[in-house]
Amino acid sequence: MATAALDPITSATTDASPEAVVVRFAGDSGDGMQLTGGQFTLSTALAGNDLATFPDFPAEIRAPQGTLFGVSAFQINFGSTDITTAGDAPDVLVAMNPAALKTNVKDLKPGGLIIADSGEFNDRNLAKAKYDANPLEDDSLAKWQLLSFDISKLTMESVKEFGLGNKEALRCKNMWTLGLALWMFDRDRQPIVDWLKDKFAKAPVLADANIAALNAGHAYGETAEIGGAGLGLKQLNIAAAPAPEGLYRTVTGAESISLGLVAGAQLASLPMFFGGYPITPASAILHHLSRLKEYGVTTFQAEDEIAAIASAIGASYAGSLGITSSSGPGIALKGEAIGLAIMTELPLVIVNSQRGGPSTGLPTKTEQSDLYQAVYGRNGDAPMPVIAARSPADAFDCAIEAVRIAVEYMTPVMLLTDGYIANAAEPWKVPDMSGYTPFPVTFLDKAQEGGFLPYGRDEKLKRPWVKPGTPGLMHRIGGIEKALNTGHIEYSPANHQAMTELRRDKVLGIANDIPDQDVELGQKGGKLAIVGWGSTFGPIYQAVRRARAKGLDVSHIHLRHIWPMPKNLGDLLKSYEKVLVPEMNTGQLKTVLRDQYLVDAKPLNKVSGQPFRIAEIEAAIEEQLT
């Protein structure tokens, strides 16, 4: 066991517990780090802490064991105060092998704690991680606190009585590690025990072995005196975060969107049809919705992306709420069919869980590079409303809003999330649905006075929704240009001009039906506005909060409605001397803001596949105001 002098989380000279702690579990893809992190998240939520998580894993289904590109990590930031990001730098790094240490230790805070499985630091694994010497035995980790012991051996001993083979026994290693983490932060093991019994109900020996490993890791923390003199490591109890009374659960972005889509369909009094095709990181939406059949949800896994959206358009034509989902490459394939939905003016919700691009790009990493694609990415003048969720919990309300706009304006709507939102988890107060205003759909069931006009308009420029087979209301449907009012095929220049402008004006008119843009933090007008969208909310909010605490004149504006934008946004932006737009792309929202409002918006760009850190935005704020 190697030790250092400083407490990993608080100064060794104080007994005060910190407000928040960041822990990262890292190991080989087969070490179960995502499962370990997920169960630690469960125990943290049950303890009443606020939290945010960041699962980070390779794109390979099973990368070669022990390699640098096969490392899977799970980071959680939890505390007794408001948590909006997964944390900039870990206080504690659990490294299950040399590759995990090599790829993650550079992010650890100085004085932070490394917990390493010394049993995996053999010559073969060190070579795979490109270490010339064992870092547990030289001085290369001197600026951190190091706790290394043979977790593999200790796990094998803890499950010896169950007669498992070496391979099966070592699969319990993540539960041993979880047990130690539960001891470190004074967490209850019983929820994890219950989960293991349920998970391995058909294999009780495996359940008992994993429970034994969990208990052994916890007991090691209690009895091995790792908090003795010189280490300064002690059991920490992070107080519960203040929160309004109510029912809470942890929710990922994919779960939240799925529930929001179902809630939206219920508020619209419509059955839902989801046509999807598996693609990372959007596949989880199909998985969640397939378990909600009792709410009038039909799910269909199509043979490709084009069939998926085409089936959803067909469902909308038939009188259901059509939904489809993908990430950037799949949205590209769906592009022509999105144009069909715009031309036929049928309601459709398209969820884009963005990932690193272009092409296949970075399938498991996060990015915000599909904004141009969402706003402009179709042939012809084909405007479409675009909404962006800011967090996993926010995705629920964004999904409802997307459904509302789709059915009230007879238009496809794109809902943007990203890989970070889709996979991350946070506490969510389960809402009282009686507080949501229903928006039930009315289908046209008889011809209007003067005859049936399939493309006649109401005050919102919405055409009527007619179920096929309704007597007396036969009409054409398809992608060829429609004649004004009648919907007949019409190629005339004047008609195309008029119909193009009508479709544009219908979408722009949605701005009359959305809230004015507010200021998240700060005041209207001043020296600097930080304008964000999507998952940059957390780091922007915290960076602005810190900057304002230093007396800097900076405000935070965050957009939910990307297209059309709120009516007051132009005047709001012009009330600031400077505008800075942090984005996980090369400056897409910045360009749209410049185009629409002629403001000199400046970019802060990051396209590394990783979310922004608070410190990066805080430094940019100080630079702008220097």
Structure confidence by residue, pLDDT tens digits, 117-133: 999 999 999 999 999 99
CA 387, CA 359: separation in Å to the nearest integer? 23
Please report, to the nearest 10 degrees, the dihedral formed by the alpha carbons of residues 535, 540, 543, 549 taken in order: -130
Cα of first residue to Cα of last residue in the chain, in angstroms, is 48
User: What radius of gyration, in Å, describes the C-alpha atoms of the chain?
Assistant: 27
Is the CB of residue 172 less than 8 Å from the CB of residue 158? yes
Question: Which residues of the chain, if any, have pLDDT below 50?
Answer: 1-15, 228-232
Q: Is 170 helix (H, G, I), strand (E, B) or coil?
A: helix
Q: What is the pLDDT of residue 371?
A: 98
Dihedral sign for Cα 545, 547, 551, 556, please.
Answer: negative
Beta-carbon count within 10 A of 502 CB: 17
pLDDT for 626: 87
Strands 601-605 and 321-326: unpaired
Three-state DSSP class for 66?
A: coil
| CA angle in degrees (0–180, nearest 5) for 366-369-373 | 135
Number of neighbouring beta carbons within 10 Å of residue 83: 24
How far, in Å, CA of 309 to CA of 348, rounded? Answer: 9
- Angle, vertex CA 55, rays to CA 285 and CA 325, nearest 5: 20
**Could you tell me the two tokens for 378?**
């179709």
Q: Is 316 exposed, middle or buried (0-12, 13-18, 19+ CB in 10 A)?
A: buried
